[in-house]
Amino acid sequence: MKKYISIFLMLLCPVIGWTQDTDDELPPGLLEERPRGPKKDRAASFEAVNFIQQNGNFVKANQLGVKSNVEFGRVHNLELAVIVANRFQRAQRDLEDKNRNQVEAMAELILLADCTWFPEAKKLQPKLVDVKQHESYGKALELSRKLKEIYLADKLDE
């Protein structure tokens, strides 16, 4: 007997749910007035991706990405994820490369650590702590500001 009651309830519940779930009973305009998140600018997020792929310009991409309100995870594909991971990893390795200009390597790391649109930026924080203790940190910070200006002035059609 219990078995039949269970089966009956299993069949009945969806039917009750279906009959209750009608938008017609809601007050007019309620659906339109529900709170929405900030508007997403998909075009800006795609432009950000173009800056990465065409000029390797992560600074401009970050600016556009943050402005777009679209999460990086929503626009990236596997190849783009590999590009970002390679670039952030390379920024860390350049600090240890004796052939590199150390001030510029630090400036690059400062810039990338500030590109918070990319989740990888968090991984640079421990290195950034080391950089801040370096004797040339002041020079690197100054250079990073100059480089940022150049990166932000970049236009794809040039």
Partner 1 sequence: MNRTFTFHTGILLVALCAFAFQAHAQAPDLEKRLAEGTKITEEDVRLYYLHKVLNVAQTDFLAAYKTAAVYKEAGEKIGAFRGYGMPKEHLAYMEAAASDLLANATFRLGKEPFDQEDVFYDLFDVMRCQNLRAGAAAKILFQAEMGKENPAAKAVVDAIRASRASKK
Interface pattern 59-78 for partner 1 (x via CB under 8 A): -------------------x
Position 155: which residue type?
A: K
Give least dist CB 23 to partner 1, A. Answer: 46
Q: How many CB atoms lie within 10 A of CB 52?
A: 21
Q: Is 6 in the site for partner 1 (CB under 8 A)?
A: no
Q: Are the C-beta atoms of residues 157 and 123 closer than 8 Å to each other?
A: no
DSSP tally for the chain: helices H, then strands E = 9, 0
Rounded Cα–Cα distance for residues 57 and 129 (Å): 24
Q: Can you tell me which of 44, 75, 80, 128 binds partner 1, judged by CB under 8 A?
A: 80
Interface pattern 124-153 for partner 1 (x via CB under 8 A): -------------------x--xx--x---
Q: Are the C-beta atoms of residues 149 and 111 closer than 8 Å to each other?
A: no
Q: Is 86 in the site for partner 1 (CB under 8 A)?
A: yes
Query: What is the 8-class DSSP label of residue 116?
Result: T
Give least dist CB 108 to partner 1, A. Answer: 9
- The answer for residues whose C-beta is within 8 angstroms of residue 60's C-beta and 6 or more apart is 48, 51, 151, 152, 154
Q: Can you tell me which of 40, 42, 74, 90 binds partner 1, judged by CB under 8 A?
A: 90
Q: Is 114 in the site for partner 1 (CB under 8 A)?
A: no
Chain residues binding partner 1 by CB under 8 A are 52-57, 78-83, 85-87, 89-90, 93, 99-101, 104-105, 143, 146-147, 150, 154
